[in-house]
Amino acid sequence: MTDPTKTIDPKQRAARVLIVDDSAIVRQVLQAQLSRQPGVEVVGAAADPIAARERILALKPDCVILDIEMPKMDGLTFLRKLMKFHPVPTIICSSITPKGCGLALECLEAGAFEVVSKPGGNFSVGEVAVRLGELVRAAAHAQPQKPSAAATIPVLAGPAVTTASPAKTGAPPAVHRPGLAEKLVAIGTSTGGTEALRIVLAALPVDVPPIVMVQHMPEGFTKAFADRLNGLCKITVKEAEDGDLCLPGRALLAPGNRHMRVVREAGAGGARWAVRVADGPRVLRHKPSVEVLFESCAQYAGRAAMGVIMTGMGNDGATGLLSMRKAGALTVGQDEASCVVYGMPREAALCGAVQVVSPLDRIAKQIVDFTNGALTAQAA
């Protein structure tokens, strides 16, 4: 497990954060816990967005921690106003409810830095505080987030194939292209990754290999996120369930609080890839873990796979991507300029796992080139 304090420069000014939550208890607990985190200074708290506005203007925090459901003005409306008139990196700290999940995703689209679940269930107060501390420090020095614009993403053209109309109910479109099912694309990402995945997946044509993905998100949010992507993309996107098949034109997203692995199994039409979704200890402090997914791809897919590591904090997936490269896979890392947080791709590059360094807006094209055989590990 990485010690987050080891990456902190003692000479660097502490990241200043404002807490906005209508619960006095939550404000008190978060303030007490965050005050213990190295490199973090809690400069104030507010019970609603109206009070928060005045404190932001007066205190000029580096970062805001924001609840969603509050009196006088909901967090999403406040965030949109904040991003328009006085942009400040904002972390959403919300309870996991169906309504909360949907609103949290809208917050990410509106420019929120990250979403964190409030303490309870799978995460203790201390664990949430450590995670928030890391995010506050990262947000204070991150690339600014911009509201998404889904309609501006063109879909790349793929080779002529015979396909059925995409069924947006979880079943992938029928893709008739020899050899497509024999390839596999694995993607890992974290902070900033919801927007990065949207940009990449929305640009893909239907005729792409099976895609498996890990995005660090709390349990409950991954289902809502997969459903939202499914409505934006030509390919089918769904939250993975144990035993789901990896099929062309389908992207499977690892569920929150579960690891996802790729396996090769026998089927009626021959060998095929499927996913195994299971509980287990956190790996590199995450569940799901990119490392777990990439190591399984190295084991079962080898040179038939493409691994992509994108924006995110920490080092999850770095050595897994190196295993994929050693097994003959093509490996791609997002470049620093287009990352919200250049953490995971940086660690992967430093350990020699990355063959191709790519800006975010070219990764979809590289997946298409990999599909067509125009980009391979040998040619990279």
Task: Name the pairing type of β-strands 15-20 and 63-66.
Answer: parallel
Is 176 found in the same domain as 43? no
CATH number at residue 15: 3.40.50.2300
CATH number at residue 203: 3.40.50.180
Is 134 found in the same domain as 185? no
Catalytic residue among 216, 286, 323, 358: 216
Is 325 found in the same domain as 224? yes
Is residue 286 flagged as an active site residue? no
- For the chain, the domain total comes to 2
Is 272 found in the same domain as 201? yes
Catalytic residue among 21, 62, 207, 316: 316
Report the alpha-carbon distance of residue 349 to residue 225 in Å, rounded.
Answer: 28
**Torsion over CA: 142, 148, 152, 153 (sign):** positive
Is 193 found in the same domain as 293? yes
Is residue 190 flagged as an active site residue? yes
Is 123 found in the same domain as 182? no
Is 187 found in the same domain as 39? no
Q: pLDDT tens digits for the chain (380 residues)?
A: 333 434 555 557 899 999 999 999 999 999 999 999 999 999 999 999 999 999 999 999 999 999 998 888 989 999 999 999 999 999 999 887 777 788 888 999 999 999 888 887 667 888 889 999 999 999 988 866 666 654 445 667 654 443 433 445 556 555 557 788 999 999 999 999 999 999 999 999 999 999 999 999 988 889 999 999 999 999 999 999 999 999 999 999 999 999 999 999 887 667 789 999 999 999 999 999 999 999 999 999 999 999 999 999 999 999 999 999 999 999 999 999 999 999 999 999 999 999 999 999 999 999 999 999 988 887 66
Question: What's the domain range around 260?
Answer: 164-372
Report the alpha-carbon distance of residue 38 to residue 248 in Å, rounded.
Answer: 46
Is 92 found in the same domain as 170? no
Catalytic residue among 190, 289, 323, 338: 190
Residue 42 resides in a domain: yes
Is residue 289 flagged as an active site residue? no
Residue 144 resides in a domain: no
Residue 377 resides in a domain: no
Which of 83, 187, 196, 94 has its CA nearest to residue 144? Answer: 83
Report the alpha-carbon distance of residue 174 to residue 160 in Å, rounded.
Answer: 14
Is 228 found in the same domain as 277? yes
Is 322 found in the same domain as 228? yes
